Structure 1
Amino acid sequence: MNCPCCSGKSYEQCCKLYHDGMLPPTALDLMRSRYSAYALSKVSYIIETTHPQSPYFEKDVSKWEKGVRQFCNTTRFVKLEILHPKYPDPSDPTVHFIAYLEQGAPFQLNEKSHFEKLDGKWLYLSGSFTN
């Protein structure tokens, strides 16, 4: 199976490594693995890789899981396009991407995601949407 993150690698040689416990070495790797986690309904991975200071972090984990699962189940993840950085950079905490999605009709999510390392682990902190 091709990896949902559109890296050109197989899932087993790409995001599955992170979903199985290996730490993504860069923010870009984490972003790609989170996209794949959404595409494959790996809800706990989304929750585990969200920074506690993120505006999306919820203390009520069961409510949060339900919301993420509903989004995953009602969304088709068509394609991921990375705009910045083009190559993994261990020091760059920002990833600009376009996610091509469908929820009945196609739409695009153009986001600059911000990540932060906490205890040696990259986590999703926040995102700003652009046109």
Structure 2
Amino acid sequence: MKISANSPCPCHSGKKYKQCCQPYHKGTVPATAVLLMRTRYSAYALGLADYIIKTTHPNNPDFTEDRADWKKNILHFSQDTVFEGLKIIEFIDGENEAFVTFEAALGNYAMKEKSRFLKENGRWLYESGEFPQ
């Protein structure tokens, strides 16, 4: 899905896309794990599979060297999901490990996840997630 740079950002920050997630999707490195989480949500909403792959830690269970199949799965999820809202519930920052608990409104489904991020070579990467009650 393509959107105008002046459209509201898909991460639901209230900012325009060009002032929020777009710079990161174009190569700027997010300084915090919570910012990376927001940009990944937007990337899923926009079908930016390459960004999702690039920001996923090799320890993640979805990580695979078969990039074509992985990309196909991400695009399938993006196209079949309605991204209606994102709420950050908790952010625990650390020097090389951080946690972001969020709730995403995905059509008729609300997903709550506590995500773990690891910093490698100065970049935050999504490592894993658990689904708290």
- TM-score, length of structure 2 as denominator length: 0.90
Could you say which residue in structure 2 is the equivalent of 1:130? 132
- Kindly indicate whether the alpha-carbon contact (under 8 Å) linking 1:112 and 1:129 is maintained by their aligned counterparts in 2: yes
Q: Residue 78 of structure 1: SS of its match in structure 2?
A: strand
Letter in 1 for 2:41: Y
Picking from 12, 17, 24, the partner of 1:18 is: 24
- Kindly indicate whether the alpha-carbon contact (under 8 Å) linking 1:39 and 1:72 is maintained by their aligned counterparts in 2: yes
Q: Residue 88 of structure 2: SS of its match in structure 1?
A: strand
* Backbone CA RMSD of aligned residues: 1.4
Q: Does 1:93 align with 2:95?
A: no
Could you say which residue in structure 1 is the equivalent of 2:39? 33
Cα distance in 1 between the residues matched to 2:122 and 2:87: 27
Query: What is the CA-CA distance between 1:56 and the residue it aligns to?
Result: 1.6
Can you give the 5+ residue segments of structure 1 that lack an aligned partner in the other structure?
none
Cα distance in 2 between the residues matched to 1:9 and 1:84: 21
Cα distance in 1 between the residues matched to 2:65 and 2:112: 27
- TM-score, length of structure 1 as denominator length: 0.92
User: How many pairs are equivalent?
Assistant: 126
Picking from 57, 76, 82, the partner of 1:76 is: 82
Post-superposition CA distance 1:13-50 (Å, at most 9, x none): 00001001000000000000000000010110000000
